[in-house]
Amino acid sequence: MRDVWIRGTGMTRFARHVDRNARDLVEEAVAAALRDAHVDPRDVRAAYVGNAAAGLMTGQECVRGQVVLRRTALMGVPIVNVENACASASTALHLGWQAVAGGIHDCVVVVGYEKIDHRDRRRTDRVINGTMDLAEVAELFGAQAGQERNVYVDVLGASVDEQGRDRYDRELLALVSVKNRLHGSLNPCAHHQEEVTVEQVLSSPRVGGVLTRMMCAPLSDGAACIVLCAAGFGRARSGGARIAASVLSSGRGDDMRRRFSVGLAARRAYEMAGIGPEDLDVVELYDATAQSELGLYPHLGLCADGDWARLVRDRVTWLGGRLPVNPSGGLLARGHPIGATGLAQVVELTWQLEGRCGARQVPTARLALAENTGGWMGTDVAACCIHVLQA
């Protein structure tokens, strides 16, 4: 396979863009990425577009990518629409990587976007619940749960172990939110750009299980774009980041003997890149809740199971620590436009590897990992994408 390089990146601010539509957000991100890559749109041979919620939010199904790219110079190239829950954008990146690595195309564009209608909460709840098996949701929470009640946070908020004891200390969960809000305060693209205290996190409204509102990621509007090129493609700038590994896995959720999908994907990614977790300099992972971040640490090999508290309390995963996690602010602060989240992680890491992050820069960043989860099936994630990037 050929080496694949990220030569250009672009991203809007993630926020509640009440006065902007999806097409407008995508056009901003695409123009920025092409400009950053120094690539003429005529050199782009395909576009892979990730989106999760447009069908439920607006009724726009089937040709979402063609619609949001309609006024760009990319119309006319093959456009592939990708929907894979919260892993939609990173799955689109995986497909784009396959096309370039396999010699099908020398230059492709990958887009992730979302426009969430915050004014109609029922639609938003249906989108979130739709990332799970709705038959299972109905069995657990009642026949109308998938339409009338957001039960995803109930699933994520369950934190008891086999003996019924809480696995996570509430102050530790709050500290994760404090960390990521601090990082987000340094990111001009973040939804939340204000620091918070442990007390503020704990006193925010309870939303499910042990989780408060500030322990959960805000749903956001936004778009991100990446230009992928083969190593020998000369009509793009040098620099960027090499994709050392790209892995997509899907969980079963019906076989407790099978290792959790994130751990399986991480092991494959480390093997593909020829590295171990101890080699990483910076990580972006899927912190839909503070609890999610802690739970992912051992699956990614960042610590032993149950040792997550040390990483946070000893500030290992804070900016300035040995292994900063979510320097962008993560989903908790940067925000969670479902169909754009996976690309936002990779944009941040590319900027980190190029030294373009200003006050949140990880000075030693040479090797980075992005982990993006999508949906939930029984006892496992529905999808997981992991990318390893190298400067």
Would residue 336 show up in a list of annotated catalytic residues for this protein? yes
* Distance (Å, whole) CA 385 – CA 339: 13
343/91 Cα distance (integer angstroms): 9
Q: Which helix (H) or strand (E) holds 258?
A: none
CA distances from 14 to 17, 85, 230, 280, 322 (A): 8, 18, 29, 27, 28
Q: Are 69 and 79 in contact (CB under 8 A)?
A: yes
Query: Is 225 an active-site residue?
Result: no
Contact 107, 39 (CB under 8 A): yes
CB 252 within 8 A of CB 258: yes
**Letter for the amino acid at 216?**
C
Cβ-contact 29, 225 below 8 angstroms: yes
CA distances from 303 to 285, 312, 317, 331, 368 (A): 14, 11, 11, 21, 17
Closest CA to 115 of 224, 226, 225, 223: 223
- Catalytic residue, from 17, 86, 94, 183: name it: 86
The catalytic position among 17, 105, 299, 336 is 336
The residues annotated with a catalytic role in the active site are 86, 336
